[in-house]
Every structure is written in structure tokens, then in C-alpha cells.
A and B are shown apart, each in its own frame.
Chain A
Amino acid sequence: MAFNYEYYLRMDKMPHMWCPGCGIGIVVKAMLRAIDKMGWSKDDVAVVSGIGCTSRTPGYVDFNTLHTTHGRALTFATGLKLARPDKHVIVISGDGDAAAIGGNHFLHACRRNIDLTLIVVNNYIYGMTGGQASPTTPFGARASTAPYGAVDSPLDISRVAIAAGASYVARGTVAQGFMLEKFIYNGFKHKGFAVIEAMSTCPIQYGRRNKLSDPVQLLKWVKEHGVPAKKAEKMSPEELEGKFITGELHNQERVEYTEEYELVRQRAQEAAGAR
């Protein structure tokens, strides 16, 4: 039965600004269905973003929303969560927002294991500003700042998240919307810092420069380049070159930051009372 997206959208702001076939909308829909499944009241949810096409999301969804500065969404979200640990704080970022200008904040949010959910919409490019190469642009792919092909190796956001201490990490694709919804839902249920990397599509800024301007072809490209974790185990590094591993990659119980911080507060108050 059709899902009631309208309930969660600011209908006066629709249709959204994303280009035809842009994957961001698919991720936002998966996020809304996962929120609905959690049964959260709209007043208890906060959606925080930085700057970029992906970061326009808070403008369209009807929750407590915060559109901040480029790369700093996680810092604002951390402050919000510490002030209101009872709220469900979700951050949505592009690959540039999360891994380029916001890369350092990303590492430290992982390390802290603060109870936030970060959804990274990875479209391998700076969409909003005209297709500059991002930290996840595939080796050899073209971008406005790499007209003869990118010579930097792409950053594996999920692997970095695991190494830095995020306690739930999953990667899906916009070609598999049901799976994406499941990962986001599991990320919401997880206590600690959850990272869901959604391999997405930017037909305009990435696709046009890489012979993949047709949204349907680009979606197929994304699907074909995803390898389920189980299958990847049996593949050689050469076979996995240029591919990305999908699935729930990491799930661990670990000390959570807001709870520990509350204990610090209590210890400080006891110490002050004792004086």
C-alpha cells in the first residue's frame, strides 16, 4: 500500500530542487519510511545537514530541522544531542560535506560513539557547486576539477567509519531502496554512532562527465558496482578493484557518549557538593 510521504514532507516546498533521476530523493524516502517504522513522533526527530544538494533535505522534511554550514553538520548535531539526549538526531550529508571539509568532524564523531545516525549520500562528486572531484571520486573518473581523470584514490567512507570507532556501519545503494530502508532502520535502533553510506547517483554533475548521464544507466552502474559482503569474501583484491562492498559491515555494542557525559556531570556535581 502506498506510503504516506506527504505526512512527513513540507508539501508547500515540493516539488524538490533535485535534478531528474538524482538519487537523493530515494535516500530521503528510505529515511522517512524508517522513521515511520520506528513510530517516532515528528516532534522528537531532528534532521541536521551541512551544505550541498543532499544537505537541502531539511528544507523538505517536516521535523525539527537544522541547515548548518558546510562540513559542520555533525558538530551542530553533537551539541543538539548533548542538550536534548531524548531527541532522535539524524544527520544527512553529501560525500564532500562528510568526508572532505567535514572529514575531521566525521572521525571524531565516530570515535566518540555519540548516539546519532549519519546518512552519507555518496554520489562521488560535489553536486551543488558544479561537479568538482570529491574524496570519493573513483580513480580515473572525470570531474570539473579532473577533466583528464582523477588521479587520487577514493576514500572508503564505511571502512574509515569502522576504523575510527563508529559502532554501526552499513552500506547500501539507491538501486536497492528496501535494503537501504532496513539499514537506516537498524541504524536508528542502534545505541551509538551509526553510519549508513548510501551509494547514490548524480546524473548531472557526475554522470554527464562519465558517459552515465542517463539516470537509469547510472542506477544500473551503481547496482553493478556493489558487491554483497558475503560474496566479496570469496573475491580477490583485483576482482574487488573499483567495487564497493554492501551490507551491514559492522555492529558492535560500545560505551555511548551522552550516557558517559551524564556520568561526568554527576561526578562533577558530587565533587562540587563535597567541597
Chain B
Amino acid sequence: MAETATAEKVAKKKEKPAPRIEVIDEFCKGCNICVDICPTNVLEMKPDPTRWVGAVVVVTRPEACTRCMLCEIHCPDFAIKVY
């Protein structure tokens, strides 16, 4: 019984699509909170002279995302979403 439940869990986990992180560029103010808070270093702040803050958050390692949601929860600007 217990074994079946674990097997089911593993199967379910496999079904889940890979995490996708969306940065809403028009809302991001480049505060760096998300970059710092991510435990698996998924995000990076890259210079971008076309942006009014001079930088933009880039999702460099999406595969490392564990969907902990810390970046989304702590972005003060409603600018980052984890799907």
C-alpha cells in the first residue's frame, strides 16, 4: 500500500511540467530582491541600457527552479511569476 502511494507520487511529479518563470519587464524596478532570495540561483540581474533602471532580471537557470515561490512572494512590484 505504502509503496503504491510513493510510486503514484513519483509518477505525479514526473507529470508536472517544468517550471516556467515569467518576468514582467514593465513592472520590474530592478531591486534585486528576487535574485538574492532564490535558493538555487535561477535568476540574474543583467545590465540593460534600454531599461529605465539600467538592468533587467534574466532567468538563466530555469531547470534549477524548485517552485519554492520565494521570488514571486517577495517581489514588491508584482513583476515575477512562477508557473
Contact = CB atoms under 8 A, between A and B. Distances in A.
Chains A and B come from one and the same complex: yes
A24 B76 contact: yes
Contacts of B32: 21, 214-216
A175 B53 CA distance: 23
A25 B75 CA distance: 8
B74 interface: yes
Interface residues of A, number: 29
Interface string B15-51: 0000000100011011111001000000000000000
Contacts of A20: 29-31, 53, 77
Interface residues of B, number: 21
Interface string A199-224: 00001000000000011100100000
B82 interface: yes
A29 interface: yes
Given A20-B29, A215-B33, A216-B32, A25 B83 contact: no
Given A20-B29, A20-B30, A21-B31, A2 B76 contact: no
A219 B35 CA distance: 13
A216 B27 CA distance: 18
A32 B75 CA distance: 14
A198 to B, nearest CB: 12
Interface stretch (A10-18, A35-43, A68-76, A264-272): A10-18
B30 A2 contact: no
Contacts of B70: 177
A178 interface: yes
A214 B76 CA distance: 14
B81 interface: yes
B interface, by DSSP: helix, strand, loop or mixed?
loop
Contacts of A25: 75-78
B73 A178 contact: yes
Q: Which of B22, B70, B76, B82 has the most CB of A within 10 A?
A: B76
Interface string A1-14: 11101000100001
A15 B77 contact: yes
A26 interface: yes
A25 B78 CA distance: 8
A22 interface: yes
Nearest to B68: A178
A3 B82 CA distance: 8
Contacts of B30: 20
A15 B27 contact: yes
Nearest to A33: B73
A142 B43 CA distance: 34
Contacts of A135: none
Nearest to A178: B73
A214 B82 CA distance: 25
Given A20-B29, A21-B31, A216-B32, A29 B73 contact: yes
A26 B76 contact: yes
- Of the candidates B32, B70, B74, the one having the most CB atoms from chain A within 10 angstroms of its own CB is B74
A85 B22 CA distance: 40
B32 to A, nearest CB: 5
B2 to A, nearest CB: 28
Contacts of B31: 20-21, 203, 215-216
Interface of B: 22, 26-27, 29-33, 36, 53, 70, 72-78, 81-83
